[in-house]
Amino acid sequence: MTYRQARWDEPPIWDLAHAHAPEPAPAIPGVPERFRRREALRWPELSEPTVVRHYTRLSQMNYGIDSGVYPLGSCTMKYNPKVSELLARRPGAAQVHPYQPEATVQGSLEITWRLEKLLAKITGFHEVSLQPAAGAQGEYTSLLMVRAHYRDLGEIDRRTEVLLPDTAHGTNPASAAMAGFVTREIPSKNGCVDLAALRTALSDRTACFMLTNPNTAGLFEGEILEIAEAVHAAGAMLYYDGANLNAILGVTNPGRMGFDIAHLNLHKTFATPHGGGGPGAGVLGAGETLAPYLPVPRVAKVGRKFRLDYDRPKSIGKIKTAYGNFGLDLRAYAYILAHGEEGLRHVARRAVLNSNYLAARLGRRLPRPFRPLVKHEFVLSGTPLKERGVRTLDLAKRLLDEGVHAPTVYFPTLVEEALMIEVPETESKRELDEFAAAVERALDDSPEHLKAAPTSCSVGRIDEVRAAREPVLSWKDLRAASAKVETP
Amino acid sequence: MVRWISDEVGEEAALLEVLGLASVDELFRDVPRKARLGRMGVGPSREEPEVVAEVDKLLERNRPLGRFANFLGGRIACRYSPAAVDAIVSRSEFYTAYTPYQAEASQGMLRTLFEFQSLWVELTGLDVANASLYDGASAAGEALLFCRRLHEGRRFLVPASLPWEERSVLANYASGPGLVVEEIPYDARTGRLDLDFVRQAVSAHDVFGLLADVPNGFGALDEHLFELKSTLGDVPLAVAADPLSLSVLEPPGAYGADVVVGEGQGFGIPPSFGGPLLGLFACRREHARQAPGRIVGATVDAYGRPAYTLTLQTREQHIRRSKATSNICTNESLMALAFVVYASVVGPKGLASLQSSLAEKARTLASALGSVEGIRSPRFEAPYLGEFTIELTRGTAAGFLDRLRRRKVLGGHPLADPRPGTPAGPERVLVAPAESVGEKEIARYAAAAKAWAAAPGGR
C-alpha cells in the first residue's frame, strides 16, 4: 500500500506566540502577597484558531485504529464504536458530579450497578467493582485485598510470595512488588505453565499465583483446573490478569476456571478507546472469599433506589478519587448491550479465528515457537532476519511504511526477536490479507531498506539512545539547551 | 449480528477453509470441558438505536449539574470547557491510538505529551513532569512511594485536613511496603499545620516525607507552607496543588517542594461522575530516574530533525518488572491532551482571571453565609481562593444539603468520612462555587441557607 503520514514542520506551541513578557500574576483580594506568583505562568497567549490548527496538525501525525490495522499483541486494539462516544458526552453522563446527592444521580448509580452485574455474569464472579482506573491499578488493588485477607487469617507474615509465569505482563511483578510481596517467576514449558515447577514452587509462603489465560504466547493454559487445584491446596489465591479475556468471552471465564480474583481492561475487551495511552478502566471481579475486601463505596440497590454503600468493614478503602472511570464504564455498558450474549460469544470466536488464520499464513514465513493452535494472539520469532543483518525492530519499522501499525515486539521475552500479533474480531479478512502481504513485502525487502525504515512517517528512525542519555524532557530543558548554545 | 464485528458474507467460511477446519468450535478444543460455560445470562443483542434509547432512559434518571445552582468542588471541579477542547480530544487519530511505543508513527501524541509535561513544569516550578498518572489521589500515593525512594524512614506526614478519600488512598499505597501515614494536627482557628508537630516528628528520624495540599482540604491557603522545607531539612516535601491555583500562586518549586502532584480534571475534562480524571506529577531533575510512569523526551531522527519518544524507560514495569518505580502502564494520555489544549485556549491570563473570579464568588458567598444563624462561614480564618469550609453549629451537614437541594442548590459536600466506625467530626461542608455560578445563584444559596436556619429540622 502506498502510504504517507502527514509531515508538518509544526513548531512547539510556545513558538507560535510572541516572546514572553514576565509580569506578576494578578493579586487576589484577601490573599497575602507572599502567596502571589511573582512571574506569571510562562505559556503562550494564543487565539483559538491557532491552537486548534496546531493540535489538528499534530493529530495528523498520529496513527489510530481508525487509520488502519493495529495488531499489538495483548493490547486488543479493536474498533471503538462511535455510538459510545456520543453517549459518554450526553450532559446526563458527563455533567454529573460524583458528590451530588444520591437522589440526583440515580442513572449513574444504576448504570454502575447494572454493569457490575453484567460483568459478574461474564466473568463468573460473585461481585465486581469498577473503581480501579486501569489494569495495573486493578492488579495492585487485588493484591492489597489478598494482603488484607491473609492479615485477617493471621498468615500475612508468612505468605510473602507472589508467583507468576515468565510470560507474565510486566505490570504483574511490578504490582506485586508495590503491594509488598516478593515475586518468583515460574519457568514455562512449551509456552505454558510448567505444572510440576509450579507445584514445587508453591508453599505455605505463597500468597498468590498470577496468571493470564490465554497467556501472552496466545496459548490457552489447558491445565488450568489442575493449576487452580494446586494453588488452592497450598492455601493461596489465584489471580486472573484479564488482558486477554477477549479470546474466551462466553466460552469459559475466570470464575469457572477457578480464579479467586481478576481485573478486566474495559479498554481492551469492551472496546473503550485507548486514548493514545489512557484512560483505561481496570474493573475487579472477586469470588466470595475476597469480595468483602473490594474498595468502597459499593453500589447497592434498596427497593427501587440505588445508593452508595460504605458499610463494608473488611474493605481496603479507596484506591482512587470518587468511583470508577464512569465515562468508560458507560461506553462498556453500551458495548455489552449491543452485543448481548450471542454477540459476545461471536467476538471471541471471530477474534480467535482471525488470529489462527493470520498465524497460519505468517507461519509460512517466520518460525512459530509454540504449538499451532492459538487464541486471540500468536508469537513469531524474527531470528531468520539476523542472517541478513537485520532485526525484528527493523521489520517493525518497515511495517510502518506499509500504512499498518507494527505488532508488539520483544515480548514475551522468552522468545528471541519476538513479534506478538493480535488481530481482534473487528478486522476483516481483507485487512488480514493486506497485513500479511505487508509483512511479506517487508520480509522480501533489502536489508538497507529495512534499516532505513520508516520513510513514510512524519519522522525517520528515532534516536532513542540520545533521548535517554541526554534527557530533554520539557520546554524548560529546551530553553536551557538553547541558552547554552548561545553563550558557549 | 453486531456490525462492529467483521462479518462480511462468506468470510468465516473462507477463513476456516484455509485452516482446514469445519467449525470455529475446533479452535476451542483445548478449553477443558469442565471449564466451559453454558449461558451467561447477558441478554439479547440490540440494534444501535435501541442501545441509545436504553442508555438515554437511564441517563434521564440523573439530574445533571446544569439544573442546579452548583457549589460542588473538592478535587473535581465544575468548569466550562471551550468547545475547541472536545473537538481536539474527539479526533480519532488521538483517541483511538495506543500508547506511542512506535514513536515514528505517533509523533502527534508524543509531541502533545511533551507540551503537557512542559506546562506542568511551568506551573509547578519543578524540572521534570511525567506523561500523567490516574488521578490526584493515586498521584499522591505515587508521591509517597517516590519520597520513600529518596529518603529512609517509616512515617509519611499528611495534614489531618486532607480529604478522607485521599487519606484512604495514601494508607493503601503505604500498606504494601509497611509504611505509616500519620496526620498532622491543625490549628483550630486557622486550619494551619502544626509546625511543632512536624519538627518533633522529623527529629525522631523516621519521617521519609510530608505531603501538603494547596489549597488544603478546607479550601484554605496555609502560610506555614513556606516554612515546611526549612523544617523538614533533607526530608522530601511533596505538594498536592490545584493547577488553576498555580496560575496565581507561587509555584511550589519556589518554596522547596521536591515533588508536586495534582488533580488535572478541572482543565477541560468533564466531571463524568468521577472519571476519567488526570493525575499530575513533577519532580526535580536529579530525581528524574526515580519518577513513576511514562516520560516523553525530545531527540532527533535519522535525518537530524526534531523528534520525540518515550524515554528513561528503564524505570518502567515492562523493562524492570518487579524493580520498576511503579506498576503504572495505561495512564491518562487523552486527558493530558485535554489539559494542555484547555490551558492553551484559555491562556495564562484567562486562567488567572478565572481563578480571580472564582475567588470573588467564594468570598461573596462566604461572607453572606457568615451572617446566617447556625453557620460559621468561613470556618477558618485563612486566605481562600475558590472554595471554603463552613461549619454548622446545629443540625447535620446531610440535612442542610438536603434542604438546599430541594431549592435546586447543590450546596457543597460534607467533609466527614462516610464509613461507619470512623469518628464523627464536626458538621463541615466544603463549598466551591462552579464557574457557572453568578449573583443569582449566590443569592439563592444564601436564601436557602436562611430558610434552613429558620427551621433546621431534617435528618
> In the predicted model, what is the mean pLDDT of residues B209-228?
97
Task: Give the model's pLDDT for residue A339.
Answer: 97
Record: contact B62-A333, CB cut-off 8 A: no
Query: C-alpha cell of B40?
Result: 451467561
B326 close to A (CB below 8 A): yes
Q: How far does Cα B189 stand from its chain's mean position? A: 28
> In the predicted model, what is the mean pLDDT of residues B244-253?
98
> Which residue in A274, A336, A426 is closest to B5 by CB distance?
A426
Record: contact A276-B360, CB cut-off 8 A: no
Q: Which amino acid is at B260?
A: V
Side-chain half-sphere exposure of A49, counting CA atoms within 13 A: 0
Q: How many angstroms away from the CA of B395 is the closest CA of chain A?
A: 17
Positions of chain A with pLDDT lower than 50, given as ranges: none
Query: C-alpha cell of A271?
Result: 472496546
Q: How many angstroms away from the CA of B54 is the closest CA of chain A?
A: 9
Rounded CA-CA distance A60/B93 in Å is: 7
Task: Give the model's pLDDT for residue B427.
Answer: 97
Q: Residue B430: helix, strand or coil by DSSP?
A: strand
Both ends of chain A: CA-CA distance in Å? 48
> Which residue in A25, A222, A459 is closest to B247 by CB distance?
A25
Record: contact B405-A252, CB cut-off 8 A: no
Q: How many angstroms away from the CA of A79 is the closest CA of chain B?
A: 7
Average of per-residue pLDDT values in chain A: 96
Task: Give the model's pLDDT for residue B121.
Answer: 98
Record: contact A28-B305, CB cut-off 8 A: no
Q: Taking a C-beta distance cutoff of 8 angstroms, is the pair A101, B407 a contact?
A: no
B422 close to A (CB below 8 A): no
Query: Which residue from B minimizes the CA distance to A455?
Result: B104
Name every residue whose Cβ is closer than 8 Å to that of residue A55 and which is 6 or more positions away in sequence.
Answer: B88, B91, B112, B337, B341
CB contacts, 8 Å: B103 with chain A: 459, 462, 464
CB contacts, 8 Å: A340 with chain B: 42-46
Task: Give the model's pLDDT for residue B257.
Answer: 98
CB neighbours of residue A152 within 10 Å: 12
Record: contact B271-A37, CB cut-off 8 A: no
Query: Which residue from A minimizes the CA distance to B326?
Result: A174
The dihedral region occupied by B39, where left means phi > 0, alpha psi between -120 and 50, and beta the remainder, is beta
Q: What is the CA radius of gyration of chain B?
A: 25
Query: Model confidence over B82-95: pLDDT tens digits?
Result: 999 999 999 999 99
CB contacts, 8 Å: A311 with chain B: 419-420
Task: Give the model's pLDDT for residue A24.
Answer: 85
CATH architecture of B83-341: 3-Layer(aba) Sandwich (3.40)
Cα torsion A406, A407, A413, A414: sign: negative
B180 close to A (CB below 8 A): no
H helix runs in A272-315, sequence order: none
Record: contact B134-A133, CB cut-off 8 A: yes
Q: Taking a C-beta distance cutoff of 8 angstroms, is the pair A220, A375 a contact?
A: yes
Long-range contacts of B169-172 (CB under 8 A, 24+ apart): B169/A317, B169/A318, B169/A319, B169/A320, B169/A321, B169/B137, B169/B138, B169/B140, B169/B141, B170/B137, B170/B140, B170/B141, B170/B144, B170/B211, B171/A317, B172/A141, B172/A144, B172/A316, B172/A317, B172/A318, B172/A319, B172/B141
Q: What is the CA radius of gyration of chain A?
A: 25
Position B457 confidence tier, pLDDT thresholds 50, 70, 90: low
In the block, cell 489512557 appears at A278
> In the predicted model, what is the mean pLDDT of residues B226-244?
98
In the block, cell 481485573 appears at A263
Position B2 confidence tier, pLDDT thresholds 50, 70, 90: confident
Record: contact B352-A224, CB cut-off 8 A: no
B48 close to A (CB below 8 A): yes
Q: Where are the domains of chain B?
A: 66-77+347-454, 83-341
In the block, cell 511505543 appears at B101
Query: Model confidence over B309-334: pLDDT tens digits?
Result: 999 998 999 888 998 999 999 999 99
Helix axes A429-444, A326-362, angle to 10 degrees: 60
Task: Give the model's pLDDT for residue B7.
Answer: 80
Task: Give the model's pLDDT for residue A20.
Answer: 66
> What class is the A83-339 domain?
alpha beta
Average of per-residue pLDDT values in chain B: 96
Rounded CA-CA distance A42/A31 in Å is: 22
Q: Residue B116: helix, strand or coil by DSSP?
A: helix
CATH code: domain A350-465 is: 3.90.1150.10
Record: contact A222-B64, CB cut-off 8 A: no
Task: Give the model's pLDDT for residue B9.
Answer: 78
Residue B459 in this model has a pLDDT that exceeds 50? no
Burial of A39 (0-12, 13-18, 19+ CB in 10 A): middle
Task: Give the model's pLDDT for residue B229.
Answer: 97
Instruction: Please report the beta strands in A166-215, taking only residues with DSSP state E, as ranges in sequence order.
Output: 182-186, 188-189, 192-193, 206-211
* DSSP β-bridge partners for residue A261: A239, A286
CB contacts, 8 Å: B383 with chain A: 30-32, 35
> In the predicted model, what is the mean pLDDT of residues B403-431?
95
Q: Residue A418: helix, strand or coil by DSSP?
A: strand
CB contacts, 8 Å: A140 with chain B: 327
> Which residue in A100, A323, A346 is closest to B1 by CB distance?
A346
Q: Where are the domains of chain A?
A: 83-339, 350-465
Q: How many angstroms away from the CA of B165 is the closest CA of chain A?
A: 6
Do the bridges between strand B237-241 and strand B207-214 make them parallel or antiparallel, or are there none, so unpaired?
A: parallel
Task: Give the model's pLDDT for residue A488.
Answer: 52
Task: Give the model's pLDDT for residue A1.
Answer: 63
Task: Give the model's pLDDT for residue B1.
Answer: 57
> Which residue in A41, A59, A277 is closest to B91 by CB distance?
A59
**pTM for this prediction:** 0.98
Which of B107, B149, B435 is the mutation pick for testing A, counting most A CBs within 10 A? B107
Task: Give the model's pLDDT for residue A2.
Answer: 80
> In the predicted model, what is the mean pLDDT of residues B237-266?
98
Residue B62 in this model has a pLDDT that exceeds 80? yes
Task: Give the model's pLDDT for residue B3.
Answer: 87
Task: Give the model's pLDDT for residue B142.
Answer: 98
Cα torsion A180, A186, A191, A194: sign: negative
Do the bridges between strand A261-264 and strand A284-286 make them parallel or antiparallel, or are there none, so unpaired?
A: antiparallel
Q: Taking a C-beta distance cutoff of 8 angstroms, is the pair A112, A130 a contact?
A: yes
Task: Give the model's pLDDT for residue A278.
Answer: 95
CATH of B66-77+347-454, one of 3.40.50.1400, 3.40.50.1360, 3.90.1150.10, 3.30.390.50: 3.90.1150.10
Q: How many angstroms away from the CA of B204 is the closest CA of chain A?
A: 25
H helix runs in A100-179, sequence order: 106-123, 135-152, 171-178
> Which residue in A48, A72, A279 is closest to B276 by CB distance?
A279
B250-to-B118, B127, B143, B214, B260 alpha-carbon distances in Å: 17, 15, 20, 11, 13
Record: contact A144-B172, CB cut-off 8 A: yes
